[in-house]
Structure 1
Amino acid sequence: MFKSIFVYFISLLFIHSSYSQTQLFNQDWEFVKDIDTAINPTLFERNSKVVWQKISIPHTANIEPIEKVKQQWQGIAFYRKFFTVSATEKGKHLAFKFDGAMQEADVYLNGKKVLNHKGGYLPFYVNVTDGINYGSENVILVKLNNQDNPIIPPGKPIADLDFNYYSGIYRNVWFIKKNQLHISDAVAANRKAGGGLLVHYENVTSSSATLTLQTEVENGGDLERTASIRTKLFDPNGKLVASNNVPIAIDIRENDFELFTQVIEIQNPQLWSPNLPYLYTLKVEVLENGKVIDTEQIKTGIRSLKIEASALTLNGEKIVIRGTNRHQEYPYVGNALSDQAQYRDAYKIKQAGFNFVRSSHYPHANSFLDACDELGILVMDAIPGWQFVGKEAFTENSYQDTRDMIRRDRNHPSIIMWEASLNESGMSKAYMKKTHQIVHEELPFNDTYSAGWIDDAYDVFLPARQHGKYPVYWKNYQKNKPLLIAEYGDWEYYAGNAGFNQKEYQNLNKEEKSSRQLRAFGQKRLLQQALNYQESHNDNLNGKAIGDANWLIFDYKRGYADDIESSGIMDIVRLPKFAFYFYQSQLNPNLKGENEFNKPMLSIANYWSNIGDSTVKIYSNCEEVELFLNGKSLGKQKPDQDKNSNNLKHPPFTFSINEFTAGTLTALGFINNQEVIKQVVKTPEKPVKINLRVDFSGKNLKAGTNDVVFVYAEVLDANGTIIPAANHSIEFELQGDAENIAPKLVKAEAGIATILLKAGNKPGKIKVTAKSEGLNQAQLKIKSVKSN
């Protein structure tokens, strides 16, 4: 079976490559920054006085320290690549597509400027058909400027911004070779509800669904031609499940386009949902005189969606959004993440128990959305914006961002809302009306929903919790409009104006009350962060909101502050805090083991190292938990019943202990009176050794793609317990085709030192060694795999 599927898809790839190619164009680039910014002939010459660095894409123009020492680098950077196009390609449509480059790009081909693009988060398309030297060397040069620019959203100067947007050609580059008669690019076409493929499903049930497919075919030649469309839908095993049997031919005039609309009935569809993210492959072919001359192939999910004031229903079933926010940055490399690293972030969001993510506050990488499709994570796509409204040019660019975001992302089954709103910005009524209108112009369907933080023109109202007043917040919202609490759990506690119910809260200083807690701040403050999220999430469930999204999943750096914004339930190197396990515990367990993310879980939120500890908090989705101290049972309990737990699916378990005794805590989780999970925590002793581990999160390290993974060096005692107070300096050494992006010497935080390891171009074995004075060193062997 596997062999037949493999042969099938290899044959598809071969057929595709015989008449059109979309080639990843990431290798063999050159880069330079901080030079004279004037465009001159030497920039296009191989033997110039400029010293160019050989690099590959994705790339950041400046490696940034993990902690904010100074403001992120801003300036002018140049990227160039020499390449040759065979004379046999003459007469084809040739183009480059850049998925993301920060933030204003001037593109030159063979010394001639061919494009200026403003905006760092969305793709741009460069048609180079008329500028290529066939059979001889060409050079493409990109001048990038990521300096503050008030007409390019988000527009606000980095020094005043609540995130960083970094630098470089930080997403994939593609070289496209097609017949002049071809399926157009949706962003490049720049037509309302036009360009490329537009997929929509109607009348969706488990018995049948109707696929309406619009395909725009462009004729870039100077003669009228006749095209027809053939469409096939395959299941994950490569089996054909639906197709159009009678292709209709249409004449397309020179330098013009036509829209082909097809309606295809699908019998017994498997529907896409967060619990079962089933994806089909849709293949669309352009034919001329019966011969295939172009093709597009995308993953697609069949689902129905309805968002009302009372509920969100997917495939006819009510779903409560349990979500988070995400900034896309990594330490050191900024936003320059490989496709695999994007997937790993989505994997962690799913692992944490969330079914929804908000792409705050800009469009995230297409590969991240692909991962959300594959893993089953609902998405709200967002245009760039935060606490800034510019003048007319800014507004026009923001309108274009709204259109380009939808055109790029409209076929993702995971996307359920479009945040066409400048977050926390004083938008005019005209702006809100226009962006709402754009959403519905681009997607003229009944299941299209705009969203915005001001309760005005948009279909869905997106307040942050702190935008309401204590103690009601949004519980008494009266309008007949869907309400999604888009942020909660951070600012209310950080600002200290929330007036909450916690008896624990009253006796804490300001730093301890906050949800902004690094792992190094210790058990007490990490428990408080988790309690803040528990309290606010529980409170949100009192109202009519269709769901909520906490602020946020990962720690990140900001332009306007010197410290890391640490309200993430994982830190900036993707290590979990106690709050991570609180959210994970809200997933119902699946005892059949059919889903790797819905398993019984249990986590003891206690290091058992503090004399004076009188309580042990346990997060679990089990029905009962029994706790043992040094082999003696402290009782079996059901979940907590208090004012911070009354709306939760699975409240925590709190055990009171008369006296701290060093040793071993053992917790057993029970469902239907059967033990299903166990965890052991031991009092940390003297540090003696290092343990190394790597975080793959569902994707192996891939060579030749600038892929990066986190490698963790844990400081352990003789029992294998991490020492939470350990701050040893760990020295890392690598052997093999890989690079350590972090410093060679890294100080442990809460017992763990972390590096960011980047795979080289050759697949194979990589050996990591970690050592520190007074500790037994550790070695770890990692294998990078071949790029497809």
Structure 2
Amino acid sequence: MFKSIFVFFISLIFIQASSAQTQLFNQDWEFVKDVDTIINQNLFNRNSTVNWQKISIPHTANIEPIEKVKQQWQGFAFYRKFFVISASDKGKHIAIKFDGAMQEADVYINGQKIQNHKGGYLPFYVDVTKLVNYGAENVILVRLDNRDNPIIPPGKPIADLDFNYYSGIYRNVWFIKKKQLHISDAVAANRKAGGGLLVHYKNVSSSSATMTVQTEVENGGEGERTASIRTKLLDAKGKVVAFNRIPLALDIREKDFETFTQVIEIQNPQLWSPTHPYLYTLRVEVLEKGKVVDMEEIKTGIRSLKIEAGSLTLNDEKITIRGTNRHQEYPYVGNALSDNAQYRDAYKIKQAGFNFVRSSHYPHANSFLDACDELGILVMDAIPGWQFVGKEAFIENSYQDTRDMMRRDRNHPSIIMWEASLNESGMSKAYMKKTHEIVHEELPFDDTYSAGWIDDAYDVFLPARQHGKYPVYWKNYKKDKPFLIAEYGDWEYYAGNAGFNQKDYQNLKKDEKTSRQLRAFGQKRLLQQALNYQESHNDNFYNKAIGDANWLIFDYKRGYADDIESSGIMDIVRLPKFAFYFYQSQSIPEKNSKSEFNKPMVFIANYWQNIGDSTVKVYSNCKEVELFLNGKSLGKQKADSDKYSTNLAYPPFTFSIKNFEAGTLSAVAYQIDGTVIKHSVSTPKTPSKINLIVDYSGKNIKAGVNDLVFVYAEILDENGTIIPDATNAIEFEIQGDAENVAPKLVKAEAGIAAILLKAGSKPGKIKVIAKSEGLVEGQLMIKSFKSSK
């Protein structure tokens, strides 16, 4: 019997539900929390005395306030769903797959416990073939426990953790119905470099590439079966551009599996990169006696990768990482984001000018990685871990997390490194050696790279800026090893490199020095945050780092402190601070590009109020900027050349203005080709009205999938200028099939109040009304669309 362990690398997107055999299983669930945790028959009965709430997935077990008033909810939550499987499906393979449930799950089918899964960030696969009733009703019950647990990574108690893990079945659930002869699930198979589909590209150039496709097929039925594989690669228009000409056939014994390996040449491939994120569709079909019995489709990107000391090369072109860190939480719903909400977060990262994101400090959702593939954002995938190393059971679970993460995500073209490291934790040498080995066991290719925060076993070293000491930091790193500044711009200003114990140093901050600045803190402090990032980003490139990733893109909540961690360049409701525009100005404008990103830009980081500041900071990626006040030129300048700007792609422009004059301040940026772009700010007057806008960020709101969008109420003067110090209480009203997840009454911060709107089950019109005493009310009509899933 032929068992191939043929190997290759990463270059695709996740296994998507592309056939009718795999369907979303998110609707018609019931939920209850804080009830008797003893499993009894009452929980499985339709006429249960338990007060079940009807819900759909993704779901959080507790709506959390936007501000931390107490520790996030922890406890037991129960989810159940009644469903019927046709009698004609008897003999097929039936499974239910959970993309993420926080954090220990006990799964019951028809009253019988079938599985326990430990870990809230990675999928688990429940084979129910032999336990379901065919032609009759079934019930699945999931008991979740998200209490502190030292054997489940990250392991550290919430009260001491620098982020929150929330609750619920917060990612998609899938119902899988296949023939007994089928492509296996990579995580469920639990085999080194095995299971499911695995794709690797080599000899990649613009003229050709070699694609190797590994497909694992299981025979769950009785008797030996003969299977063959038919593989096609389709371009973005659906045209077949490559295929296996001679299908490979193998005999598979009963209750066994075989691995098929195919090598396919591709001519004139479109190569995937951050500036050209071209995706193909790979279609793999399993045939028995000439008929298709199973099929998987995945998105795939063709690219080469090489990381060495001082250099990252993609498709034979050197790229400098200009990145950020991200936590996956939203206000109110915690981690329970819709797929579209995940995409909108990725969209904002791209919009900010970044080409890289670190999944801090755990694996993020499949749909977020899909968005990075589609938008062209490089990714470092990370296992769960932060300032904690547990005992033997914790270590074993962490090893399994490393394998499961790689098996789930190995086919994403966006992923370039695997952070198989417990962040800022005192890992043993044995642990580091083992996780590094796991990375290379799961993807044993030349272009696979492990990464870790301790400079030991890993291929890439991940120091944070604060892990070094002022003023040298990492300028004198001597080893011949690639390294990436994985965090910078926050802690070195917050605590002056005082150490990693945030709890002990949380009172060291000085209000006007720290990078932790809310939008409400005003112009001066927002400019200080932007300058901190500018200074540290500039200083990072006095060394041989392959790039850096700032801390971080979005504000978030964490367990160890009572306030919002506000070093994000966008706040927790995804509104930009001045630092957002600094980073956006560092992106190289793409010539004649149809892309909505990496455009010429200019932004005045000033509210133009008489607050005694004689300077105006302008961010732009253009050659020159001219400033106008009420139509009169204040002069044209080239970019700054100070000590904070020596290594920047596009330094800011700093203008000195002698006298304040109310009115309109305009910046005109001149590009090399002579074209101009403009940005203006005006002196705010008396608050007059409310204007409503919705944040689509590349995706319309979809009905029936718990989609979430932020709606913002801007407090404007009569000329349409936002009042930057307005704190009015805004009352929101929703009409139509949608709900406001936020409170009905929201206080504005820096002139804007935000709610989180969740679309209902039916597509249609949604009306949002915002009122506040003394202001003309705002109205907005939003249309929700039918989901394609």
CA contact 2:469–2:497 (8 Å) conserved in 1: no
CA contact 1:591–1:600 (8 Å) conserved in 2: no
CA contact 2:692–2:713 (8 Å) conserved in 1: yes
CA contact 1:741–1:755 (8 Å) conserved in 2: yes
Structure 1 position 340 matched with structure 2 position 340: yes
Instruction: Provide the C-alpha distance between the structure 2 equivalents of 1:613 and 1:408, rounded to a whole number of angstroms.
Output: 52
Aligned twin of 1:156: 156
- Please state whether the residue corresponding to 1:42 is helix, strand or coil: helix
Aligned twin of 1:679: 679
CA contact 2:17–2:23 (8 Å) conserved in 1: no
Aligned twin of 1:358: 358
Instruction: Provide the C-alpha distance between the structure 2 equivalents of 1:443 and 1:631, rounded to a whole number of angstroms.
Output: 61
Give the 5 Å matches for 1:649-688. 649-672=649-672, 674-688=674-688
CA deviations 1:92-136 (Å, max 9, x no partner) are 000000000000000000000000000000000000000010111
Aligned twin of 2:65: 65
Amino acid at match of 1:391: K
Quote the offset at 1:14 in angstroms: 13
Aligned twin of 1:595: 595
Instruction: Provide the C-alpha distance between the structure 2 equivalents of 1:591 and 1:693, rounded to a whole number of angstroms.
Output: 30
Instruction: Provide the C-alpha distance between the structure 1 equivalents of 2:100 and 2:590, rounded to a whole number of angstroms.
Output: 39
Length-normalised TM-score, structure 2: 0.96
Instruction: Provide the C-alpha distance between the structure 2 equivalents of 1:179 and 1:489, rounded to a whole number of angstroms.
Output: 53
- Please state whether the residue corresponding to 2:786 is helix, strand or coil: coil
Instruction: Provide the C-alpha distance between the structure 2 equivalents of 1:171 and 1:483, rounded to a whole number of angstroms.
Output: 33
CA deviations 1:727-770 (Å, max 9, x no partner) are 00000001000000000000000000000000000000000000
Give the 5 Å matches for 1:215-230. 215-230=215-230
Aligned twin of 1:179: 179
- Please state whether the residue corresponding to 1:249 is helix, strand or coil: strand
Aligned twin of 1:541: 541
Instruction: Provide the C-alpha distance between the structure 2 equivalents of 1:291 and 1:475, rounded to a whole number of angstroms.
Output: 62
Aligned twin of 1:55: 55
Structure 1 position 609 matched with structure 2 position 598: no
Aligned twin of 1:271: 271
Amino acid at match of 2:116: N
Instruction: Provide the C-alpha distance between the structure 1 equivalents of 2:743 and 2:191, rounded to a whole number of angstroms.
Output: 48
Quote the offset at 1:673 in angstroms: 6.2
Aligned twin of 2:235: 235
Instruction: Provide the C-alpha distance between the structure 2 equivalents of 1:511 and 1:458, rounded to a whole number of angstroms.
Output: 38
Structure 1 position 465 matched with structure 2 position 465: yes
CA contact 2:60–2:335 (8 Å) conserved in 1: yes
Instruction: Provide the C-alpha distance between the structure 1 equivalents of 2:754 and 2:18, rounded to a whole number of angstroms.
Output: 45
Mark the runs of 5 or more structure 1 residues left unpaired by the alignment: 1-12, 499-507
Amino acid at match of 1:440: H
Instruction: Provide the C-alpha distance between the structure 1 equivalents of 2:186 and 2:49, rounded to a whole number of angstroms.
Output: 40
Aligned twin of 1:483: 483
Give the 5 Å matches for 1:746-785. 746-785=746-785
Structure 1 position 327 matched with structure 2 position 358: no
Give the 5 Å matches for 1:22-37. 22-37=22-37
CA deviations 1:215-248 (Å, max 9, x no partner) are 0000111211000000000001000000001011
- Alignment CA distance shift 1:675-1:555 (3 Å): same
CA contact 1:496–1:513 (8 Å) conserved in 2: no
Aligned twin of 2:311: 311
CA deviations 1:480-499 (Å, max 9, x no partner) are 1001000000000001359x
Aligned twin of 1:640: 640
CA deviations 1:292-320 (Å, max 9, x no partner) are 00001000000000000020000000000
- Alignment CA distance shift 1:14-1:752 (3 Å): closer
Amino acid at match of 1:269: P
Greater alpha carbon shift after TM alignment, 276-285 vs 675-684: 675-684
- Please state whether the residue corresponding to 2:512 is helix, strand or coil: helix
Instruction: Provide the C-alpha distance between the structure 1 equivalents of 2:594 and 2:733, rounded to a whole number of angstroms.
Output: 40
Instruction: Provide the C-alpha distance between the structure 2 equivalents of 1:248 and 1:414, rounded to a whole number of angstroms.
Output: 30
Aligned twin of 1:730: 730
Quote the offset at 1:591 in angstroms: 4.3
Instruction: Provide the C-alpha distance between the structure 1 equivalents of 2:17 and 2:511, rounded to a whole number of angstroms.
Output: 60
CA contact 2:205–2:315 (8 Å) conserved in 1: yes
Aligned twin of 1:492: 492
Instruction: Provide the C-alpha distance between the structure 2 equivalents of 1:711 and 1:69, rounded to a whole number of angstroms.
Output: 23
Give the 5 Å matches for 1:341-490. 341-490=341-490
Quote the offset at 1:594 in angstroms: 2.2
Quote the offset at 1:611 in angstroms: 3.3
CA deviations 1:615-674 (Å, max 9, x no partner) are 000000010000011111110000000110011010000000011111110110101262
Amino acid at match of 1:647: N
Mark the runs of 5 or more structure 2 residues left unpaired by the alignment: 1-15, 499-507
CA contact 1:170–1:335 (8 Å) conserved in 2: yes
Aligned twin of 1:125: 125
Quote the offset at 1:470 in angstroms: 1.1
Instruction: Provide the C-alpha distance between the structure 2 equivalents of 1:233 and 1:497, rounded to a whole number of angstroms.
Output: 51
Aligned twin of 2:550: 550
Instruction: Provide the C-alpha distance between the structure 2 equivalents of 1:357 and 1:439, rounded to a whole number of angstroms.
Output: 19
Aligned twin of 2:10: none
Structure 1 position 247 matched with structure 2 position 244: no
- Please state whether the residue corresponding to 2:201 is helix, strand or coil: strand
Give the 5 Å matches for 1:78-93. 78-93=78-93
CA deviations 1:593-615 (Å, max 9, x no partner) are 42210111010000011331200
Structure 1 position 629 matched with structure 2 position 629: yes
Aligned twin of 1:515: 515
Aligned twin of 2:505: none
- Please state whether the residue corresponding to 1:427 is helix, strand or coil: coil
Instruction: Provide the C-alpha distance between the structure 2 equivalents of 1:696 and 1:594, rounded to a whole number of angstroms.
Output: 19
Amino acid at match of 1:433: K
CA contact 1:613–1:659 (8 Å) conserved in 2: no
Greater alpha carbon shift after TM alignment, 654-663 vs 554-563: 654-663
The number of residues matched between the two structures is 765
CA contact 2:520–2:749 (8 Å) conserved in 1: yes
Length-normalised TM-score, structure 1: 0.96
Greater alpha carbon shift after TM alignment, 361-370 vs 675-684: 675-684
Quote the offset at 1:574 in angstroms: 0.1
Instruction: Provide the C-alpha distance between the structure 1 equivalents of 2:334 and 2:395, rounded to a whole number of angstroms.
Output: 27
- Please state whether the residue corresponding to 1:67 is helix, strand or coil: coil
CA deviations 1:664-699 (Å, max 9, x no partner) are 101101012624211111001000000000000000
Aligned twin of 2:708: 708
Instruction: Provide the C-alpha distance between the structure 2 equivalents of 1:656 and 1:509, rounded to a whole number of angstroms.
Output: 29
CA deviations 1:506-556 (Å, max 9, x no partner) are xx9811100000000000000000000000000001100000000000000
Instruction: Provide the C-alpha distance between the structure 2 equivalents of 1:729 and 1:610, rounded to a whole number of angstroms.
Output: 25
Instruction: Provide the C-alpha distance between the structure 2 equivalents of 1:559 and 1:465, rounded to a whole number of angstroms.
Output: 23
> Which one has more relative contact order, counting CA pairs under 8 Å at least 6 apart?
2
Instruction: Provide the C-alpha distance between the structure 2 equivalents of 1:452 and 1:220, rounded to a whole number of angstroms.
Output: 39
Instruction: Provide the C-alpha distance between the structure 2 equivalents of 1:695 and 1:232, rounded to a whole number of angstroms.
Output: 38
Quote the offset at 1:450 in angstroms: 0.1
Instruction: Provide the C-alpha distance between the structure 1 equivalents of 2:617 and 2:49, rounded to a whole number of angstroms.
Output: 64
Quote the offset at 1:155 in angstroms: 0.2
Aligned twin of 1:3: none
CA contact 1:727–1:749 (8 Å) conserved in 2: yes
